[in-house]
Amino acid sequence: MTVLTTSSCSHRLPRFLTVMCVLAALLALVAGKKGPMSFAVERPTDRGPNFLLIFTDDQGYSDVSTYLPTDVQTPHIDRIATEGMLFTTMRANCTVCSPSRAALLTGRYADRVGVPGVIRTHPENSWGFFAPSVPTLADELKQVGYHTAIVGKWHLGLESPNTPNERGFDFFHGFLGDMMDSYTTHLRHGNNYMRRDGQVIEPQGHATDLFTDWAIDYVRQRARQPDQPFFLYLAYNAPHFPIEPPEDWLERIRQRDPQLPEKRALNVAFVEHLDDRIGRVLAALDETGLADNTMVVFTCDNGGSLPHAQNNDPWRDGKQSHYDGGLRVPFMARWPERIAAGSRSDYAGLIFDLFPTFLELAGAPLCEDLDAVSLVPILDGGTIDEARELYFVRREGGPAYGGKSYEALIRGEWKLLQNDPYSPLELYNLQDDPQEQNNLAAKRPQIVREMSAALRRHIQRGGSVPWQP
């Protein structure tokens, strides 16, 4: 079942083409043609590119080797940057999974679409409800003729009205839940959340291998439909814990670097296995002839988990934290027909900026109420000079958070933050102190007051949207 959503910024190219087909048939009848009729409707020659968005889970900034040479090697991910543009200052929209995904797919701050926290299996520990009335990126791209698919992790709802096929995706092959208890059993709390569209499935194998194979199958299928552009959202669970690389990959790392601590060796093997599978997807684009007109973006939902030996250097802290180790993420884009190879940008944006970027490149109208900013000027070698605030929010349960939210705000060189609802606000000058070591809240009270007032306005906007069903 598909839930139709309305949006002021969509038009319906497929309906237009249908009307043109009917008119062509009527003209043929009037002309008195006999026998079986055939006609073809040419799609616009300026159709947008295909989009492949590769989205990993809890991957540290420096667990991509193009950013900082360490003990991990990611040649296939690095290739996207080498053949396209590397962004050095992008942040996730949240320090944890669901809010970042909700923002990514709507171009709006996560609490404005009902997802300030993680959506989980058990209602008493679930802190978001993805607003069904808000159009997703898949909804908007469908309006201009795209075929839309998600392979991998969804994490924005376990049931109607928030399953992928109801939120704009023509095809879903993956996992509904938040995390897998094991990458080989694919269960969560004993529940099977693996689906092909609405059908429960029980695939065999490592989840990273499965998602890769399914993505390659989709790419090959779309290659047989060259007239219709596609959007494939390939959302891997890896390298989210449990850290479970295939044994042969772990043994390879042990032999290469026998001095590496076991916990780190496990993570390095896990990331390198993921990188190899991403390489297979990129090879499928090459083999099908789709690479030149496919925009490939690689990024992640939040920083790496320090207890699981993931690496966010040189930034402070990690997942769940509003220090930059929890927010800075790898981000790169490749489109051979438009993006200059080997280019770089230090633009400080957020991952949800992909929403208006994709729509603009697809020729779709942009909504007026977006919080995200299109990156197209940067991809074309220009700049974005408009100043913007970057807002972050996370709501969480348990004794440490109490079901409350905590926020952060970046405005220019200043960053105001909390890392739990009970601690005082901290203030950092990111230009002078990028590692966030010197809290200036007591020394710059006026800036704290001004940014606190701005933060309250964001909180009020988010508070108008229910985050419980």
Q: Give residue 83's pLDDT.
A: 98
CA separation for the pair 123, 179 (Å, rounded):
16
The predicted-structure confidence for 279-306, as pLDDT tens digits, reads as follows 999 999 999 999 999 999 999 999 999 9
Cα 467 from chain centroid (whole Å): 20
Buried b (16+ CB within 10 A) or exposed e, 408-419: bbbbeebbbbbb
| 439 backbone dihedrals φ, ψ, rounded to 5° | -75, 115
Q: Give residue 47's pLDDT.
A: 83
Q: Give residue 386's pLDDT.
A: 84
Q: Give residue 170's pLDDT.
A: 98
Is there a cis peptide before residue 36, judged by omega within 30 degrees of 0? Answer: no
Q: Give residue 37's pLDDT.
A: 31
Contacts of 390 (CB under 8 A, 6+ apart): 91, 348, 350, 409, 410, 411
| 242 backbone dihedrals φ, ψ, rounded to 5° | -70, 140
Closest CA to 345 of 293, 300, 304, 380: 380
The full set of domains in the chain, from first to last, is 50-379 (3.40.720.10), 390-462 (3.30.1120.10)
Q: Give residue 367's pLDDT.
A: 85
CA separation for the pair 289, 310 (Å, rounded):
35
Which segments of the chain have a pLDDT < 70? 1-46
Pairing outcome for strands 187-188 and 405-411: unpaired
Contact 189, 154 (CB under 8 A): no
Q: Give residue 9's pLDDT.
A: 56
Buried b (16+ CB within 10 A) or exposed e, 112-139: bbbbbbbbbeeeeebbbbbbbebbbbbb
Contact 108, 140 (CB under 8 A): no
Q: Give residue 46's pLDDT.
A: 66
Contact 70, 313 (CB under 8 A): yes
The predicted-structure confidence for 230-271, as pLDDT tens digits, reads as follows 999 999 999 999 999 999 999 999 999 999 999 999 999 999
